[in-house]
């Protein structure tokens, strides 16, 4: 009775292997191969004798020679010479007893190999042996070509006078092994693997994955502010949100603002502060004034003023009164109710006086010209169609005049500084520009133009101390080179400008001049400025004490706050985006809140005088 034996060999890595071990296994597979030789013994028959003619069962008392046969298979890498046969470098296999003198049932077995299969012919040795003494009954030796790509059997038949053997062999790569040498390893079902194998063992990435190991997800187009964690899945970096990470996230705590970049808080109209939680215009967000009264905040935080219609008074215009009690016609006029329904009144003056309040005489022309006259209201000064300021309010203009609203009229002191070009006439009036007392017109012949085109020469009204500031500037530059940038008497800062808002024709020297004008309004004197271009949009400012008696860091903080909060009357300084300072490591620290998009309502003070006094 024939005994049929089956065996197989498979490499099945554990699904719990880490990616590290997977890569290690794949690297090892580049020098190893795996497959099986499918051997099938189809036919065997003998007369009971060995190849040397002796009886298989010699020494026994049987009347007939009976063999107990097993098959031995050996494949090697012989060179074609007989001596190279049976090196068994590739495989060798020994079966159990499968037949006696004749094979009754075919014997098939898968013989594994774990070497890189050669491309050339291999030596094949198949022997039918006697079990008891391993003596050869019949031997078949051939050079054959086995290729896993051929997918066909190689059949061999050996016959001599009393013996016969017929067998076939076929080579197959084991699972996950591919190629003509079964040397290409491809196993896609281990861990988080995102590829599959082609018929030739090539690693093909699944949809949405790329890279050598198919472990790089393909990001959604536009995932510029994040990184891809899976196909079409973008994990945003801090400060960004949305499917494509293209929506900025506002600064945490931002109340009434929006963002353009990550962690910004750009305030909406009439809101200010780091978190846009400061109400800069109470009137914009509230309606406290009653009976047709108009609300005005004057640009102050947490402040409002109701400009009541005739016939009403009170903080919120809630008290009804006689209209004539709200207008002062003085001793030369009398109040008349012109329109009862509209509660409109006016002063009827005598023949020698005129004016809304009968306050001017016919020969008082000189007095009128010394005042900046606006249409007076009941309890304040009218600046424009909708803006009023209360009586008693005072401020300083860009040309350093002190102004006050009193009894509905604005009065100002003489000019103490001059923002206009003193080498040319005023373009609006054609009149010559005259420097204030104790100031001289300094000519700038060759300046540094910040926004083209610039016209040179141009003149600036300066005191002799400011004209001759070079000795103080040299001292400060030496201190800066010694690592003492911000010391008593010397300081520096950087101003970055919004070039779209900066007036055409502005020079770097104009920035210095307007800083000087602005600091003069704060009654700070003997302080000079030296400006130089830092890049296309920013200017570096050196602040010096002209007599080294002033702590200029106070002046620097004063200017930074006025630029940051937009409470300067200078159009040039109001075009600043942000203002910065140097730290101990010479790194720039910018103010946290950017000024881009801010409006004049954000000012904590405002220049109520006519815009003709602002140098553009």
**Which CATH number covers residue 51?**
2.60.40.3510
Are residues 545 and 460 part of one domain? yes
More confident residue, 414 or 221: 221
Question: Are residues 396 and 415 in contact, defined by beta-carbon separation less than 8 angstroms?
Answer: no
More confident residue, 134 or 595: 134
Secondary structure (3-state) at 367: helix
Domains held by the chain: number: 3
- Whether pLDDT at 198 is above 60: yes
For residue 177, the model assigns a pLDDT of 92
Residue-wise pLDDT for 555-578, tens only, equals 888 888 888 877 777 888 888 988
Are residues 141 and 39 part of one domain? yes
Are residues 533 and 391 part of one domain? no
Helix (H) or strand (E) holding 555, with range, is: helix 552-564
The reply to whether 212 falls in a domain is no
The reply to whether 366 falls in a domain is yes
Strands 440-444 and 154-159: unpaired
Angle CA 218–223–228, to nearest 5? 45
For residue 574, the model assigns a pLDDT of 87
Using pLDDT thresholds of 50, 70 and 90, give the confidence band for residue 59: low
> Final residue of a domain: which of 150, 185, 220?
185
Residue whose pair of structure tokens reads 């296309």 in the numeric block:
536
More confident residue, 136 or 613: 136
More confident residue, 301 or 173: 173
Give the C-alpha separation, 582 to 511, whole Å. 19
For residue 488, the model assigns a pLDDT of 65
When pLDDT is averaged across residues 437-461 and rounded to a whole number, the result is 83
Give the percent of the chain with pLDDT over 90.
21
The reply to whether 64 falls in a domain is yes
Are residues 505 and 393 part of one domain? no
Helix (H) or strand (E) holding 463, with range, is: none
When pLDDT is averaged across residues 178-190 and rounded to a whole number, the result is 86
The reply to whether 91 falls in a domain is yes
The reply to whether 80 falls in a domain is yes
Are residues 79 and 160 part of one domain? yes
When pLDDT is averaged across residues 388-393 and rounded to a whole number, the result is 72
Are residues 372 and 461 part of one domain? no
Are residues 478 and 377 part of one domain? no
- Whether pLDDT at 357 is above 80: no
> Final residue of a domain: which of 162, 185, 208?
185
For residue 481, the model assigns a pLDDT of 67
Mean pLDDT estimate for the chain: 77
The reply to whether 268 falls in a domain is no
Helix (H) or strand (E) holding 394, with range, is: strand 394-396
Range among 13-17, 76-80, 244-248 with highest mean pLDDT value: 244-248
More confident residue, 513 or 190: 513
The reply to whether 378 falls in a domain is yes
More confident residue, 243 or 393: 243
Are residues 392 and 324 part of one domain? yes
- Whether pLDDT at 306 is above 50: yes
Range of the domain at 334: 293-412
Cα Rg, the chain, nearest whole Å: 51
Cα dihedral 56, 59, 61, 63 sign: positive
Are residues 459 and 594 part of one domain? yes
More confident residue, 186 or 59: 186
The reply to whether 258 falls in a domain is no
Residue-wise pLDDT for 244-286, tens only, equals 888 899 999 999 999 998 899 999 888 888 899 888 777 877 8
pTM: 0.38
Are residues 605 and 506 part of one domain? yes
- Whether pLDDT at 589 is above 90: no
For residue 140, the model assigns a pLDDT of 93
Q: What is the residue-wise DSSP string for 460-503?
A: EEE-HHHHT-HHHHHHHHHHHHTT--SBTTEEEEEEEE-TTTSP
Are residues 451 and 404 part of one domain? no
Are residues 467 and 402 part of one domain? no
For residue 395, the model assigns a pLDDT of 66
Of 9-13, 80-84, 206-210, least confident by mean pLDDT is 9-13
Least Cα distance to 414 among 376, 372, 361 occurs for 372
Using pLDDT thresholds of 50, 70 and 90, give the confidence band for residue 496: very high
> Final residue of a domain: which of 165, 185, 205?
185
- Whether pLDDT at 75 is above 80: yes
């Amino acid at each position: 009775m024939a005994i049929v034996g089956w065996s197989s060999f498979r490499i099945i890595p554990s699904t719990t292997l880490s990616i590290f071990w997977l890569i290690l296994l794949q690297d090892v597979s580049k020098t190893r191969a795996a497959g099986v030789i499918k051997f099938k013994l189809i036919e065997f028959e003998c007369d009971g004798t060995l190849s040397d003619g002796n009886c298989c069962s010699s020494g026994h008392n049987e009347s007939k020679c009976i063999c107990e046969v097993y098959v031995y298979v050996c494949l090697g890498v012989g060179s074609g010479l007989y001596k190279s046969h049976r090196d068994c470098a590739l495989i060798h296999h020994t079966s159990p007893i499968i037949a006696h003198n004749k094979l009754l049932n075919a014997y098939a077995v898968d013989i594994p190999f774990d070497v890189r299969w050669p491309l050339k012919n291999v030596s094949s040795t198949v022997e039918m042996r006697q079990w008891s003494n391993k003596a050869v009954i019949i031997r078949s030796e051939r050079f054959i070509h086995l290729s896993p790509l051929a997918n066909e059997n190689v059949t061999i038949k050996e016959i001599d006078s009393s013996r016969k053997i017929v067998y076939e062999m076929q080579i197959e790569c084991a699972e996950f092994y591919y190629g003509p040498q079964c040397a290409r390893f491809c196993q896609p079902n281990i861990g988080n693997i995102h590829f599959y194998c082609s018929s030739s063992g090539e690693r093909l990435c699944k949809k949405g994955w790329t890279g050598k190991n198919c472990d790089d997800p393909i990001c959604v187009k536009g995932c510029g502010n994040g990184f891809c964690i899976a196909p079409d899945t973008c994990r945003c970096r801090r400060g960004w949100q949305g499917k494509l990470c293209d929506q900025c996230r506002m600064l945490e705590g931002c109340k009434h603002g929006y963002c353009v970049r990550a962690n910004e808080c750009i305030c909406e109209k009439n809101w200010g502060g780091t978190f846009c939680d400061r109400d800069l215009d109470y009137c914009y967000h509230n309606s406290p004034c009653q009976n047709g009264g108009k609300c005005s905040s004057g640009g102050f935080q947490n402040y409002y003023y109701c400009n009541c219609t005739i016939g009403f008074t009170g903080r919120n215009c809630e008290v009804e009164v006689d209209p004539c009690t709200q207008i002062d016609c003085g001793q030369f006029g009398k109040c008349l109710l012109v329109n009862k329904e509209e509660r409109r009144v006016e002063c009827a003056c005598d023949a020698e006086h005129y004016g809304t309040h009968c306050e001017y005489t016919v020969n008082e022309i000189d007095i009128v010209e010394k005042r900046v006259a606006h249409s007076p209201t009941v309890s304040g000064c009218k600046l424009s169609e909708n803006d009023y300021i209360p009586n008693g309010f005072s401020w300083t203009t860009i040309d350093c005049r002190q102004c006050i609203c009193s009894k509905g009229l604005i009065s100002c002191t003489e000019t103490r500084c001059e923002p206009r070009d003193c080498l040319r006439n005023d373009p609006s009036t054609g009149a010559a520009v005259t420097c204030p007392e104790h100031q001289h017109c300094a000519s700038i012949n060759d300046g540094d133009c910040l926004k083209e085109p610039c016209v040179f020469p141009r003149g600036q009204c300066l005191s002799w101390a400011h004209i001759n500031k070079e000795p103080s500037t040299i001292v400060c530059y030496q201190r800066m080179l010694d690592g003492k940038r911000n010391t008593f008497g010397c300081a520096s800062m950087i101003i970055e400008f919004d070039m779209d808002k900066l007036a055409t024709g502005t020079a770097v020297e104009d920035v210095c001049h307007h800083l000087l004008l602005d600091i003069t309004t704060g009654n700070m004197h003997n302080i000079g400025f030296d400006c130089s271009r830092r890049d296309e949009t920013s200017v570096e400012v050196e602040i010096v004490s002209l007599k080294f008696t002033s702590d200029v860091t106070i002046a620097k903080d004063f200017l930074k706050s006025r630029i940051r909060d937009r409470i300067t009357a200078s159009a040039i300084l109001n075009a600043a985006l942000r203002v910065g300072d140097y730290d101990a490591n010479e790194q720039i620290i910018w103010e946290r809140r950017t000024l881009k998009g801010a409006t004049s309502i954000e000012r904590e003070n405002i220049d109520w005088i006519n815009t003709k006094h602002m140098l553009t």
